Structure 1
Amino acid sequence: MSVKLTTLGKYAKVQGGFAYKSKDFSTSDRFPVLKIKNIRFGSIDYTEAASINEDLAKATIDWQTKEGDILISMTGSGPNAPQSLVGRVARVWRNEPTAWINQRVGRLILKDQNSIHPDFLFYILSTPKSQDYLVSNSSGSANQANISGKIIESLPCPDISYEKSASIAKVLRDIDEKILINQKTNQTLEAIAQALFKSWFVDFDPVKAKLSVLAAGGSAEAAERAAMCAISARDEASLNTLQTEQPEAYAELAQTAALFPSAMQDSELGEIPEGWELSEIGKEVTILGGGTPSTKQPEFWDNGDICWTTPKDLSNATDQVILDTERKITKDGLNKISSGLLPANTVLLSSRAPVGYLALTKVPLAINQGYIAMRCEQNLPPEYVLLWASSVMDEIKQRASGTTFAEISKKNFRPIKVIVPPRILLKIFNNRASNIYDQIANNVYENSTLKSTRDSLLPRLLNGELKVSGGRS
């Protein structure tokens, strides 16, 4: 059954954001402003959002977001540029921060609340066909493409009843709810991994716990107990309960605590635990770059089945793992890349446009020239390297240079200092961290399956191949 079409403008108009000026912004996070960079595909990135003061927030209350708002980036890049494309669409979910929209961020305003369900418009805007329409009708350069509110309103859209739009939107939103749960679970898992790394290898909490007890005249046994509390985030009473009820877990915790020294030593980075080494990342992992096979040679690309990644694959990722890539190359194409096929559990750092995206590969793949790859073949496990790179990101960015855009070279990256703990302690850490990232990867895989299911359902629901019950939502 064919779908009767109208335009999005039948149902909604586009409101542009407010033209805040540079002097309006501060580092406070009380009244965040969403710029085009904060609009991702399907979600909003509230990190590093600039903020305005309370008086200006009240004066521009008409540009305050609310649950259910549909936002569109009206400036971005064209189809051949590596950055995120113009026309990205996101929805404000419940329990998200209240924010204000900046110029070049559009918001859909329904003309009649009873004409169509807003979530339905979000899903229509999110389809590849709609995204292609917005990009192809943009104006400007490849690196600075723009779309107007009129272009967005001219987007072909099904002519549909409210009841059917609400029913279709509910089916798709139920899938998105599960995707959102997985994403939030992954955020929690990643935070746990980062906290563990910081406690053990940045703040040296178990070592300092021992030192504090010994400095106060406590016994070596008391110092070990203090380290066990620091490692397990338990107090003495909870530790006693663990010893009584789970003696094996208590013994394992004691063995881990014993691996941390009770003294510090001087180093170029300041004091580090006694017996630990200070090295350079270039000496501890294999540093590699990548390349791009000629796009003019179809034999490098057509029917390729080898994953090939660019930093664009990470620009809209919500998790630091890679299970698949947008583009694939052939074996002939792979032969044109000196670093070849990198194994799973390689750590990737985007070295330009922009510097700082990080990911842990979970499939063998090749990379383009926008990455520094770290193949972890020696003592440092990949999860350690990934979390280390995140912890020294300020230094990584400071070492970047360039006039057109910042880039960090392999030469400038290799000398960055890295602490190398004893191998047995790294093994224990890796057992914990790898389990966390395996869980993250499993959730990413499930979300990929859910997204494919969601995207395939929309046309089938529209043309009547799949039936949905009517009703208002």
Structure 2
Amino acid sequence: MKYELHAIKSVVGRGEIMTRLGDICEKIGSGATPHGGKEAYCLEGISFVRSQNIGDFSFSANGLAHINNEQAKKLSNVELKPNDILLNITGDSVARTCIIDSEYLPARVNQHVAIIRGKKDIVLSSYLLYFLQWKKKYLLQLASAGATRNALTKSMIEQLEIELPTIEQQRKIAGALDKIQEKIKLNQKINDNLEQQAAALFSSLYNRSNTEVRYTDLIQILGGGTPKTGETAYWNGNIAFFTPKDVGTPYTFITEKTITEEGLSHCNSRLYPVNTVFVTARGTVGKVGLSGVPMAMNQSCYALVGKETHQLLVYFYTLKAVDRLKHKASGAVFDAITTRDFDSEQIMKLSDDDAKAFLCVAEPMFQEILNNSIENLRLSTLRDFLLPKLMSGEIDVSSVQL
């Protein structure tokens, strides 16, 4: 992709009309939970979209629930159509927005998700998606004005002001950003496919093993720490600081907090290299990921390091063990798994020949996953740079050559 960003102009002359979101949409509304709650979910059927499936710009099928046709009929007023915008309206993930992939239709949404459906002859869905991403900080401010928890109401969404260019201008602006987003999406699909192939190979070798060992015979469990409250000098350093909500799949690069080297020493933590395996151990228990950059971590995560065991094997051994470990999680205040839980966990060890065979295939796969993830990080940075400038008219879309 080649981008020339030399031409600057104002929004004047792009043919904008000032209006409100409610005036250019044929539907703005949230869904509901089926009768019986989680007990109504089934393995197959109609997709049931929840907050966890909605990321910034992209839909995630991880943890996607399903409901049967009877339950879906009761929620027919919140049936998703192709190109509908999904907007999280409550909780920590409020203001995240994306368009569901058509392969997951038909679908319904729960009460934490709003459907926004623009009038086709007035606004393009892709342009509307980028507009909501552009206004995310403002949406977060609106959502945080509530007394108890972050929430966006239907009225807030309907009253959102929008400077709407002509359809042709919308198409040019959205098209410039779509090229980047399509490449990100393609890389992610490749990564998902590669990880699934590696997981299938590992499972086939794991299931034929007849050597059972303690998890901690193969893997060392290391902890982290956090500087005391108020010691702000230790933050905003150049080291990524891992917390449970930062853990990605399979790699994590960016964390909400960063820490200084002095901060690491102060909280008796350490710097972990790329490809360290992390598992969340408190609160949200059992998320497993790999570090894409050198990282530190807080006390709610464990770092898992192989004892003469390759880190990819550590990753897949942990994925096999984590479901059972989650069932052991308990605590007076929040769920937690301890080092004793790991110590009592049994896993099947691959033979030396099977381990070599697996790594011969999986290592190149995960190197490609890592490379694609790094490229997506670069593309996301470019997209986030272009988004406000294209939407505001600071950059003339005709100067962006793809």
- Fold similarity call, TM over 0.5: yes
* Alignment match, 1:211: none
CA distance in 1, matches of 2:233, 2:65: 46
CA distance in 2, matches of 1:331, 1:368: 14
* Alignment match, 2:186: 181
Of 326, 331, 356 in structure 2, the residue corresponding to residue 402 of structure 1 is 331
The reply to whether residue 125 of structure 1 matches residue 139 of structure 2 is no
Query: Aligned with 1:411: secondary structure?
Result: helix
87-96 or 42-51: which moved more? 42-51
* Alignment match, 2:142: 137
* Alignment match, 2:216: 282
Residue deviations 1:389-432, cap 9 Å, x none?
Answer: 11222211111112443211122223211333444543342232
100-109 or 457-466: which moved more? 457-466
CA distance in 2, matches of 1:375, 1:50: 33
* Alignment match, 2:40: 25
CA distance in 2, matches of 1:340, 1:88: 33
The reply to whether residue 41 of structure 1 matches residue 64 of structure 2 is no
Q: CA RMSD in A?
A: 2.5
CA distance in 1, matches of 2:254, 2:89: 28
Is 2:286–2:323's contact at 8 Å kept on the other side of the alignment? no
The reply to whether residue 8 of structure 1 matches residue 16 of structure 2 is no
Is 1:291–1:368's contact at 8 Å kept on the other side of the alignment? yes
Query: Aligned with 2:286: secondary structure?
Result: strand
Q: CA deviation at 1:156?
A: 4.6
* Alignment match, 2:95: 87
Write the letter of the residue equivalent to 1:371: C
Residue deviations 1:151-177, cap 9 Å, x none?
Answer: 223445334222212211111112111
Matches within 5 A, 1:392-471: 392-423=321-352, 425-468=354-397
Residue deviations 1:83-119, cap 9 Å, x none?
Answer: xx22221211333332111222101132x32222121
Write the letter of the residue equivalent to 1:136: Q
Aligned CA distance change for structure 1 residues 183 and 141 (closer, same or farther; 3 Å): farther
Largest Rg, 1 or 2: 1
Matches within 5 A, 1:155-194: 155-194=160-199
Bigger relative CO (Cα 8 Å, ≥ 6 apart): 2
CA distance in 1, matches of 2:246, 2:329: 21
Of 104, 109, 115 in structure 1, the residue corresponding to residue 112 of structure 2 is 104
* Alignment match, 2:157: 152
Matches within 5 A, 1:316-355: 317=248, 319-355=249-285
Query: Aligned with 1:385: secondary structure?
Result: helix
* Alignment match, 2:308: 379
Query: Aligned with 2:335: secondary structure?
Result: coil
Aligned CA distance change for structure 1 residues 21 and 141 (closer, same or farther; 3 Å): farther
CA distance in 2, matches of 1:56, 1:99: 11
The reply to whether residue 52 of structure 1 matches residue 67 of structure 2 is yes
Is 1:352–1:370's contact at 8 Å kept on the other side of the alignment? yes
The reply to whether residue 76 of structure 1 matches residue 80 of structure 2 is no
Is 2:10–2:394's contact at 8 Å kept on the other side of the alignment? no
Aligned CA distance change for structure 1 residues 405 and 156 (closer, same or farther; 3 Å): farther
CA distance in 1, matches of 2:19, 2:280: 42
Is 1:186–1:443's contact at 8 Å kept on the other side of the alignment? yes
Is 2:180–2:379's contact at 8 Å kept on the other side of the alignment? yes
CA distance in 2, matches of 1:462, 1:35: 28
Matches within 5 A, 1:254-265: none
CA distance in 1, matches of 2:125, 2:321: 42
* Alignment match, 2:121: 114
* Alignment match, 1:291: 225
Write the letter of the residue equivalent to 2:266: K
Is 1:68–1:91's contact at 8 Å kept on the other side of the alignment? yes
Q: CA deviation at 1:469?
A: 5.1
Is 2:243–2:300's contact at 8 Å kept on the other side of the alignment? yes
Is 1:20–1:103's contact at 8 Å kept on the other side of the alignment? no
Is 2:283–2:334's contact at 8 Å kept on the other side of the alignment? yes
The reply to whether residue 306 of structure 1 matches residue 313 of structure 2 is no
| Identical aligned residues as a percent | 31
Count of aligned pairs: 383
CA distance in 2, matches of 1:449, 1:44: 20
Gaps of 5+ in 2: 1-8
* Alignment match, 2:320: 391
185-194 or 90-99: which moved more? 90-99
TM-score by length of 1: 0.74
Aligned CA distance change for structure 1 residues 189 and 150 (closer, same or farther; 3 Å): same
TM-score by length of 2: 0.87
CA distance in 2, matches of 1:430, 1:107: 44
CA distance in 2, matches of 1:134, 1:432: 45
CA distance in 1, matches of 2:255, 2:117: 35
* Alignment match, 2:77: 62
Is 1:70–1:90's contact at 8 Å kept on the other side of the alignment? yes
Write the letter of the residue equivalent to 2:54: I
Residue deviations 1:339-384, cap 9 Å, x none?
Answer: 31112221101112311211112322101122111022x2221111
Is 1:89–1:125's contact at 8 Å kept on the other side of the alignment? yes
Write the letter of the residue equivalent to 1:181: L
Write the letter of the residue equivalent to 1:122: L
Aligned CA distance change for structure 1 residues 395 and 56 (closer, same or farther; 3 Å): closer
Residue deviations 1:223-272, cap 9 Å, x none?
Answer: xxxxxxxxxxxxxxxxxxxxxxxxxxxxxxxxxxxxxxxxxxxxxxxxx5
Query: Aligned with 2:198: secondary structure?
Result: helix
Aligned CA distance change for structure 1 residues 156 and 358 (closer, same or farther; 3 Å): farther
